[in-house]
Structure 1
Amino acid sequence: LHQKIRDSYMHPQFVSDVMKPLQIEQLMDQEVVNLSGGELQRVALALCLGKPADIYLIDEPSAYLDSEQRIVASKVIKRFILHAKKTAFIVEHDFIMATYLADRVIVYEGQPSIDCVANCPQSLLSGMNLFLSHLNITFRRDP
């Protein structure tokens, strides 16, 4: 990490927004081969966010994380993107994490990896209702 994201690693905002919540310091003295899947995922997320970019592409940030770490990772990503004033495209299958992170969603229709079409970006409510309509489910709407 020291070599890969040297500038970010020393930046106080990055330390408070990313490194501390993901508990990266606790992993620094360990060999990579000894890290668990969740620990590797947290390091990968810190590496991704530590690289300067205009757009961040993040695929399945919840992979290998337990439920508590998923919440932490969601908050880290959202806080980092807001503070850095960047854009992120996040592919996520954890419904709760996706709804927390998203302000706009793209819903795909069809058979995955065979015949699939992307819809236009839309609000979270519209996108989720479109997705759930394929399962004959809608969000509850109280009057």
Structure 2
Amino acid sequence: MAGAEKDDTNKVGIHLKISYKPQYISVMDMKVRQLNLKDDLIEKFSVKDLLEKNIDELSGGELQKIAIVDCLSKDADIYLFDEPSAYLDVEERLNLAKFLRSFAGEKEKGVFVIDHDILFIDYISDALIVFERKKDDSDDTSIVEGHASPILNVRDGMNKFLKSVGITFRREPETGRPRANKFDSVMDRGQKEKGEYYYSD
């Protein structure tokens, strides 16, 4: 979608403007202020103090925030974020999830997120696509061939993914946040028996 990989079917024809935040961020020898960042986003993500720093001097968390602000500062129809939660602490991740949901709604834009953090995905998602590795007899862990599920609602998508890795999640009543059950615990076994790998309300 972002043009980073060649389409293996040659059938993708998207005529939309896409702003892309890659997983691996290129580090450049230039000042942060040289990027065309929007003032309201600079304020929102508290990165004003970074404007006079060189990009190649930023920490992992600082670089991640700048890359997110840079992506959001571009005029696009779709915003694509690959692992945006990396290097951010728990509260920063939740704040980012809430902001991206608000941004998508207010601007009427599409936001696609690829991330490994279950809590982050739980907070941000309206729908999920689950990518599954192609099953074969190879021991080569670098193989990235696989297939994508249809668009699923969050509950079905999470259930499909968690079932594939044999993990169950409950929702903490105090915080409302999902939390992994201890393997083979009473709750873990009970949810698996019901086919509810995500959480039971």
TM-score category (smaller protein) = 0.7 to 0.9
Worse overlay, 107-116 or 19-28: 107-116
Cα distance, 1:134 vs structure 2: 1.3
State the partner residue of 2:117: 94
Q: Give 2:69's match in structure 1, choosing from 25, 46, 50.
A: 46
Cα distance, 1:76 vs structure 2: 2.5
Q: TM-score, normalised by structure 1?
A: 0.82
* Superposed CA RMSD: 2.0
Distance in 1, Cα, partners of 2:34 & 2:52? 15
**Unaligned ranges ≥5, structure 1:** none
Q: How does 1:1-143 map to 2 (within 5 A)?
A: 4-5=35-36, 9-10=38-39, 15=40, 18-111=41-134, 113-136=143-166, 137=168, 138-142=197-201
The 3-state SS of whatever aligns with 1:109 is: strand
Contact 1:21 1:72 in 2 (8 A): no
Cα distance, 1:29 vs structure 2: 2.3
1:12-62 CA deviation, whole Å, 9 max, x = no partner?
A: xxx1xx322311212112222321110011001000000000011111101
Which structure has the greater CA radius of gyration?
Answer: 2
State the partner residue of 2:175: none
Distance in 2, Cα, partners of 1:113 & 1:55? 28
Letter paired with 1:124: V
Worse overlay, 100-109 or 25-34: 25-34
Distance in 2, Cα, partners of 1:56 & 1:81? 9
Distance in 2, Cα, partners of 1:93 & 1:121? 18
Contact 2:33 2:52 in 1 (8 A): no
Worse overlay, 57-66 or 37-46: 57-66
Structure with greater proportional helix content: 1
Between the two structures, name the one with larger relative contact order (CA 8 Å, sep ≥ 6). Answer: 1
State the aligned residue count. Answer: 134
**Unaligned ranges ≥5, structure 2:** 1-31, 135-141, 169-196
Cα distance, 1:110 vs structure 2: 2.4
% identical equivalent positions: 34
Letter paired with 2:117: D
Worse overlay, 83-92 or 61-70: 61-70
Distance in 1, Cα, partners of 2:199 & 2:98? 25
